[in-house]
Amino acid sequence: MQESFSSFKLHPSILLALSDEGYETPTPVQQLAIPEVMAGKDLTGIAQTGTGKTAAFSLPILHKLRTEKPGGPTRIRALVLTPTRELALQIDKSMRTYGRHHKQLRTAVVLGGVPAGPQIKSLRRNPDILVATPGRFLDLHERGFIDLKHVDTFVLDEADRMLDMGFMPDVKRIVALLPTERQTLLFSATMSNDISRITKQIQKNPVKFDVTPKESVPSKISQQVLFVEKKNKRALLTKILKGQDVLRALVFTRTKHLANRLFRDLSKQGIQVDAIHSNKTQSARQRALSDFHRGRIKVLIGTDIIARGIDVEGISHVINYELPHDPESYVHRIGRTARAGSEGTALSFCDAEEVGLLSGIEKLTRTPLTTLEDHPFRSDEIEKLRKSGAAVASPFQKKRNGGARRFSSGKRYSSSSRDESGSKGGPKFGRRRGGGVKHKTV
């Protein structure tokens, strides 16, 4: 294992940029990935968010650009495909940070939700690296603004999230446009059968590693569950957020509508708050993230779109106002706290319809959540449901008629979603005996 970045023999300009940022010791993901990527191999890396994946593929790409000079004019050499706007912007920022001492380096980012004009202008400057979300990428490619003939490195980041959000048909279309001779790097938080099939389709003899920790949740996160009736959740949230121990909090809901409603209610209570979700414009989302990062607002409310795309230090609390239908989303949500070795608190509100979801979370994390009893809206009845193992069917399940999502087991099928560019995405669905639905094989 490498003890320092200098042992990778990266270009001196990259090492200088890492020194500027105070980076000294590579993370396990970086130790495993960087030598293999620099050797030109395809790679499949399984790792949770916050483990240093971006640097693991960015540093070798930047090294290649500095040491391998192509003939002719500059063209796109590396394409990074990612599911969300926030993550795309974060990767682009990291690329520019690590490549700050490479004066000729050009990067571009294309994503939906904002006018295409500035992105087209950046593409006309012939960037070396392009970071993109699928919908806007295909739009600009079909309009003739993206030339892929010189791409020699393709990165598919958050592959499992791509699958969940229904982007894989678009990803397949993009892969078909790329040169056959290329290096393909795939990163994912999980390795499902679907992801395994994808790697076989787009990679050649990839090196594989899995650095998923034995514990799904960092030990420095205090996980607590608050049993509360649905009608009392808002009052409970307000009381908690007004507490002095809450320095900076993320609040998660399942729907954009509820996120907006909580934003309005908390604002009326004098709490510095903003909301972020896919219906917000890109400028509004960036402004909210910036205000949250700089401490101008204390609370940021959002849906699972920000569970992987936000990396802000100093988040003391993550509050699950609603438990997610997907237990893995719980892990990604609460992973926004206790960053960089700090401690954090994850509070989960649980009403009668969410007891089964709680069971699925505890099964995945192999850790029972501690019951927080000292709060004014505690419900003994719901706590008894939890102890008895009973689960109340939610309206979501009733609509599914026996459904696609199994409440207590934690198993789930992805719902159709909307592409980050604003166009309809989502996987195709086929009918299933019993009225349920299942994901079409990709």
| Spatial CA neighbour of 247 closest among 309, 318, 302 | 318
Question: Residue 93 pLDDT > 90, yes or no?
Answer: yes
Note the pLDDT tens digit of each residue in 148-167. Answer: 999 999 999 999 888 877 89
E strand or H helix that includes residue 348: strand 344-350
Say which amino acid occupies 328: E
pLDDT bin (cut points 50, 70, 90) of residue 73 is low
Tell me: do 226 and 131 sit in the same domain: no
* 8 A C-beta contact, residue 234 and residue 265: yes
Tell me: do 195 and 226 sit in the same domain: no
SS3 349: strand
pLDDT bin (cut points 50, 70, 90) of residue 2 is low
Radius of gyration of the chain (CA): 22
Look at residue 141 and tell me if it is in a domain.
yes
Tell me: do 291 and 382 sit in the same domain: yes
In the predicted model, what is the mean pLDDT of residues 93-117? 93
Tell me: do 254 and 392 sit in the same domain: yes
Look at residue 228 and tell me if it is in a domain.
yes
Q: Would the pTM count as exceeding 0.85?
A: no
Tell me: do 300 and 388 sit in the same domain: yes
Indicate the angle between helix axes 53-67 and 85-98, nearest 10 degrees: 50
E strand or H helix that includes residue 288: helix 282-293
Question: Residue 20 pLDDT > 60, yes or no?
Answer: yes
In the predicted model, what is the mean pLDDT of residues 187-209? 90
Q: How far, rounded to the nearest angstrom, does the alpha carbon of residue 304 sit from its chain's CA centroid?
A: 8
Which of these three, 152, 187, 210, is where a domain ends? 210
Calculate the average pLDDT of the chain. Answer: 84
Which of these three, 357, 380, 396, is where a domain ends? 396
pLDDT bin (cut points 50, 70, 90) of residue 395 is very low
* 8 A C-beta contact, residue 217 and residue 223: yes
Look at residue 244 and tell me if it is in a domain.
yes
Residue 75, token pair as written in the block: 């063209």
- The number of folded domains in the chain is 2
We report the CATH number of the domain holding residue 10 as 3.40.50.300
Tell me: do 175 and 63 sit in the same domain: yes
Note the pLDDT tens digit of each residue in 235-251. Answer: 999 999 999 899 999 99
Tell me: do 64 and 10 sit in the same domain: yes
* 8 A C-beta contact, residue 426 and residue 415: yes
Look at residue 352 and tell me if it is in a domain.
yes
* 8 A C-beta contact, residue 347 and residue 372: yes
Q: Helix/strand/coil (H, E, C) string of 411-429?
A: CCCCCCCECCCCCECCCCE
Q: How far apart are CA 430 and CA 374, in angstroms?
A: 47
Look at residue 437 and tell me if it is in a domain.
no
E strand or H helix that includes residue 60: helix 53-67
Note the pLDDT tens digit of each residue in 169-192. Answer: 999 999 999 999 999 999 998 888
State the residue range of the domain holding 175: 5-210
Which of these three, 184, 210, 236, is where a domain ends? 210
Tell me: do 241 and 379 sit in the same domain: yes
Look at residue 406 and tell me if it is in a domain.
no
Measured in degrees and rounded to the nearest 5, phi and psi for residue 207 equal -75, 135
Note the pLDDT tens digit of each residue in 32-69. Answer: 999 999 999 999 999 877 788 999 999 999 999 999 87
Class of residue 310 by CB neighbours under 10 A (exposed 0-12, middle 13-18, buried 19+): buried
CA of 12: how far to CAs of 7, 53, 262, in Å? Answer: 11, 21, 49
Tell me: do 186 and 303 sit in the same domain: no
